[in-house]
Structure 1
Amino acid sequence: MKKNILTGMLPVAVCMAFTTVHAIAGPGPVQPTLTTIQGTTDNEKATKLSLYAVVEGQTKEVASTEVNADHAFAFALQKPAEGFYYISAYPKDLGTRIYLKSGDQLNLAIEGHSFKQKTGSAENKSLQQWNEVAAPIMSPAYTIDSVTFHSYFPKLEATQPKIAAFKKSFTSTNKSFSALMKVTMDADIEYAAMRLLLTPRSDHPKKEQYPAFYNTIVQDKKFCDANYIRLGNINDYMQIYNTFQFIIGDRTAARPAQAELLAKKVNGICNDRLKALALLNSMGAYKSLDELTTAMAPYQQYFSTPLEKQRYNDYEKSIRKFNAGEAGYNFIGEDVNGNKVAFNDLKGKVVVVDVWATWCGPCKAELPHLKHLEEEMEGKNVTFVGASVDEAKDKEKWKTFVHDQEMKGTQIFMSGWSEVTKFYDIKGIPRFMVFDQQGKIVTIDAPRPSTPELKALIEKLLAKG
């Protein structure tokens, strides 16, 4: 009799809050509160499998485990976020899609990019049934090898009635799964059908040879359902869709300018999270800071989640240097009256930024010197910005401090170590930064007001005009 692989036959990979933990070896039953995935893979070359979650449209490895000599594997996770996960032996291959929720106990036989569930959940039973219905057109054999449209198009048309029947009969008491499957079924078929056309092959069809299904793909407004962002292949799917729009359109027309193409892409998406994802995936086309900031300026409002902002900032940092003459980062804070203040709003003047906090002793020690410098610069083309990194819970304390200390200039609240500190990699405060009248960096590590060098630097910039 074979042992249950979770009781010592294999190391068990444990995931805690999307943090991968090394496999735990040893006998003993797995805690019943864990979500477990065990089974076998038909990939005889696989020695390791990784489990990927989807986080705001990005796949993230959350656990890994070894595959033993019997091709068996096992994962154990603590309270995974509900949704699609992907089991893969290769980093660049999305692998086998499954559905997980907390408490699931799955036993699967992985077969290529699909699976058969021996024991498990109602959700994966439905997902397996869907895979079987859509297999003739989803199978990698029909999307990445040399098979041409001559064999694929008949399969696409023959499968459509079966797909329609499955959609009509599909039901689930799990509302989250049901909503996700609604977009998944359409996405799977569209993705596979478009990919067939866009993969190099020995023979390609003319547009008049396309089955009628292709005419249903392009729509004035696409990706309207937020659940699309829960798909592991959403980035590739959106990219393929954009290319498909081009090949199915009028290719004799002049290619629009880059800004027009980006605007068309964004305006054709009706969900803000998907707009943000499309914008983030477009950033690689811009290799200079000026190009990037100019292109993204009309769309900054779509970067609203911490992860979206981080991805944008990380890319911006990767293509820029903090040398003198580089454009300053357009950070945004809130003044004492609750109004938004953006760095770019201050262009036209020399800008001195003081990154500080009410709890910072050295920051408060500079305050008298800063006030004196502000008095000396009064009436000149310079503005002083106090960017507080006090935590959100101390916002009222910050307001009181600003009032009691009669702090001048533009005082803004940054809600902790965010935006400006992360972008400029500020590890300690106070930090003074100086920018010229065009909003370009003079220095991001300026002298403090308690030294004469800061005043001299400002006067030098003012003299240049």
Structure 2
Amino acid sequence: MKKIIALLTIISFTSCQEKEKITTLSGFITGTDAKEIELEGINFSKKIPLQSNGAFSDTLDLPYEGMYYLLLTDEKSYFVYLEQGFNLQIETEADDFINAMKFNGTGKEENNYMIQKNKVIESKFGNPSNFKDVLTAYAVDEKTFIQTIEDLKIRLLNKLESSKIKNQKFVTNEKKEIDFFGLNCFEKYAPYHGYATANNEFKTSDSFPKVADDFDMNDEETFKHSYAYRGLIGAVFERFIYNTPAEGQTSFDRGMEKLQTVKSKMIRSELTKNMLDELNLAAKDIDKVYKGIIANSTDSTFNQKVTQKYETLKKISKGAASPTFDYENVTGGKTSLESLKGKFVYFDVWATWCGPCIAEIPALKEVEKEYHGKNIEFVSISIDERKDFEKWKKMVADKELKGIQLIADNAWESDFVKKYAIDGIPRFILIDTEGKIVSADAPRPSDLKLKELLTEVGL
């Protein structure tokens, strides 16, 4: 009998422990007609249904304790701190998602502190979504900027101390985060200051605080808590790949080499996402790049994205049939790829809001002029939104754009754009007289290699 009682006691105790680990997230978002909100974290995403009155409630099986993002839309998101056993309640308004945010329940102290911390940072850097505000803070000289950051760190530490949070794990990690926040600001200073002062060649002095190349990239506990730390190791990783090339190595090779020094599977997987751009048509061995990325990523959603891009790129290799289109022409009616058969076609995929695209216009006009009368058509396809249709027509007229001017039917989501795996513009493509791909990532008009390519195909 005693054994049975003892066993029941153990079962009861275990059940209580399991119950305490359940994390609940609930609350209200007023003034929204959205059907759900999303909680995002490291290799984690969960959609939480919203009732018609904006109420929501869900239990969470957290993959880790630390920082997550709560998203209503891409523009309306805010970070929340979660631990096993939290019963966190959130109230906010859709129209003022961040400023109206209030927390109650278990975990309120940590998350209310985060609101106050954010206000302290905004007092120096302004609204983080307004890049002009941010640039103003970085426009000052080195000495002033260093002092600004050091003063800000003191204010943040004082705010943390005055919050009287009893959760020592949070406090310890937050002190690290404040230090990394300062380092992250110093890391951004050179490019931001250069941009703010129109000095693209700007470099900081030797005495300016810098993140060392041997910066610790394996602190998984801090990685879970600190967005600043995540940003820093990402910056160190990309610096190693692109700023310190070794003879005979591609940037992809450098990236793979650096990843092998990262012992944390979680961190290595997240850093691997910085390698996605290496999966492109210019890669010497696209299969090698694909396999390398997949081998280091544990994020199934990201891996699906990588696989989709890989399979798309394989379909647009040299000699493959080009994806087709039938798009509206600025002169009226539609133009299809089929109607251009029998001629080489040089595509310029662009948009009216794209500065680098517009910068290529003078060079494109020169190339068009030089090849006028030859067996080639120059086709510009705008991926502007339909709401900017008249803006597109006006720019075509104002800049006296030549060639065939078309507008895609669904901006970035247009079939032609997606099948060519276009994720950045301008993008230039050359196809032959049979509608087969010569280069799905052709040289720009301003690049002398374009004329070499055109000569190579007999033009």
Higher helix proportion = 2
TM-score by length of 1: 0.45
